[in-house]
Chains A and B, each alone.
Chain A
Amino acid sequence: MRLLFPLVLLCGYVSAHQFIPTYPELRQSYMPGLYQAEMQLFNSRKEIEYYSVDVFDGSWNPIPFATEDRIRKVPYLGKATISVFIREQDKERVRYICSRSKILAGFKQSTAVDSKICSKIK
């Protein structure tokens, strides 16, 4: 059993979605009035090339934010650093920063899996 977990982790980089850190911190950005969080996305899902980024409050209401691309192309086995900018007035309301896989319209699979990972600002 002890050997199984590392083995499973090694085998895991087959078709996975990873979004870190779990608890990002908002820090003052280089622009006044804007706070920034740095997120890392890793894509090892062969069938997925695009991920969307969203920001929510504690009740899952969307919060306005800025980033380079709302829908980001992250190729297979690619890593992306995503900077999320939030207005100072929304700083206390922000709870979740989420990334979600985007399945292309032409993707033909009986039951596809859409993955979503949300980090929490404490």
Chain B
Amino acid sequence: MKKSLLFTAMFMASGLAVATVPITGNVESKCVITTDTAGIYGNPVANLLSTKVTDGGAAPIIRYDIITPNTYKAVITTPVDFSDSPELNDTLAWDGDITTSEVSDASMSAFDTNKRVYNNMTEIDLTVSGTAWFKAESSVSYGYDKAFPAGNYSSVVVAECVAL
């Protein structure tokens, strides 16, 4: 008894105080676009630039994080013009393709089957919450078997998330 009283008195005398520090958070509906991998054009033959691995390139990979299903659609646009290039005086034939490369939920396989493709745009309704990685392939050929002039070539993939 004496010991416990002594301990209490010592504790009070030491002036120790305990405070609780709360950490609060809020998860709300949102779409997060993450650029996972930057793309690189390979130049397998003189008149072709391509992001395909088989052509020595690397396709950009864009990640979409979805908290609430059926609140957003992804719209990905592959390039039809260079944002930076040497002077070009012949026609360019562009091609692009969007595929789902990885998913966090198996039911996201529907993204590939239900996608809508028009012009150079691909629309995907994000009907499942989680994370999906989309690969944006791009290739361009120059003139009729004409060699691309030496220099740097850049283009832009547009990744959109539009609330439904």
Which of A23, A107, A113 gathers the greatest number of chain B CB atoms within 10 Å? A113
**Residues in B whose Cβ lies below 8 Å from that of A5:** 104-105, 130-131
Mark contacts of B119-148 with chain A using CB atoms, 8 A cut-off: 1 yes-contact digit, 0 otherwise.
000000000001100001010000000000
- How many of chain A's residues touch chain B, expressed as a range? 20 to 34
Assess the A120–B159 pair: CB atoms within 8 A. Answer: no
Assess the A111–B79 pair: CB atoms within 8 A. Answer: yes
Task: Give A103 to B131 CA distance when docked, in angstroms.
Answer: 25
Mark contacts of A79-117 with chain B using CB atoms, 8 A cut-off: 1 yes-contact digit, 0 otherwise.
000000000000000001000000100011111111111
**Residues in B whose Cβ lies below 8 Å from that of A1:** 104-106
**Residues in A whose Cβ lies below 8 Å from that of B7:** none
Distance (whole angstroms) from the CB of B67 to the closest CB of chain A: 9
Mark contacts of B14-52 with chain A using CB atoms, 8 A cut-off: 1 yes-contact digit, 0 otherwise.
000000000000001111111110111100000000010
Tell yes or no: A32 within 8 A of B by CB: no
Q: Give which listed residue, A4, A45, A103, A120, contacts B164 with CB less than 8 A.
A: A120
Count of chain A to chain B residue pairs whose CB atoms are closer than 8 Å in the complex? 134
Assess the B40–A111 pair: CB atoms within 8 A. Answer: yes
Tell yes or no: A67 within 8 A of B by CB: no
Assess the B41–A110 pair: CB atoms within 8 A. Answer: yes
**Interface residue SS majority, chain B:** strand
Q: Give which listed residue, B30, B156, B159, B163, contacts A96 with CB less than 8 A.
A: B163
Assess the B35–A22 pair: CB atoms within 8 A. Answer: no
Assess the B154–A17 pair: CB atoms within 8 A. Answer: no
**Nearest B-chain residue to A103, judged by Cβ:** B156
Distance (whole angstroms) from the CB of B95 to the closest CB of chain A: 13
Q: Give which listed residue, B105, B152, B157, B161, contacts A114 with CB less than 8 A.
A: B157
Q: Give which listed residue, B60, B79, B157, B163, contacts A119 with CB less than 8 A.
A: B163
Assess the B158–A110 pair: CB atoms within 8 A. Answer: no
**Nearest A-chain residue to B63, judged by Cβ:** A12
Interface of B toward A, CB cutoff 8 Å: 28-36, 38-41, 51, 57, 59-60, 62-63, 65, 68, 71-72, 79, 83-84, 104-106, 130-131, 136, 138, 152-164
Interface of A toward B, CB cutoff 8 Å: 1, 4-5, 8-9, 12, 14-23, 45, 96, 103, 107-120
